[in-house]
Structure 1
């Protein structure tokens, strides 16, 4: 690796609680599988890449995870608005699919379920107009 090559690290704070059910943040040594195309996509900067990497590191084997935006912000040391913008960009560029959930008996939105799209194909049932 040359000295000019950028190195991206996901900075996680494992002491933070995740309201979506994780007892703590991601382990520092947790592994994330990322599609190589994301590194060459000029639309994706370092901060959205960190958000994607954190989502990928906590996703299950099918690429899904329920996560609060606040938890992502706390783990990465970013503002809620920044996380929302990065998630919107990742959704618009096809790297994630968001499934909103709603609290039972109300119209109040709950925790979103995110799906990591590794193959570049968004299944019809997960497709949303951005």
Structure 2
């Protein structure tokens, strides 16, 4: 089963990345965690996202398209980074996320969402 593991944004992540001893330590811990995921054969891909101020949204209404420039409101509703994992089930994904170092300097959340597989669409 494939799952998208979403690191939710925070006010801190929306400010952008600045190298400090604290953020460097956090990145090293995350690198070690990613190494464990890779060694276990779970990690498909992972990356961090720049703040929403660097992004754009495209709003659709019938044939019309409207471009909306970032930043976007409600940091807690945004995504700061992601992994794509291949796990045996949701329980395994939850167990891996519980082992993850905190991806933010303060309180944070990680969301796990299963991807549709072809069998789901038939």
Is TM (by shorter chain) over 0.5? no
User: Which has more strand, going by share of residues?
Assistant: 2
Please give the TM-score of this superposition, normalised by the length of structure 2: 0.30
Please give the TM-score of this superposition, normalised by the length of structure 1: 0.29
Computing the radius of gyration from Cα coordinates, the structure with the larger value is 2
Tell me which of the two structures has the higher relative contact order, counting C-alpha pairs closer than 8 angstroms and 6 or more residues apart. 2
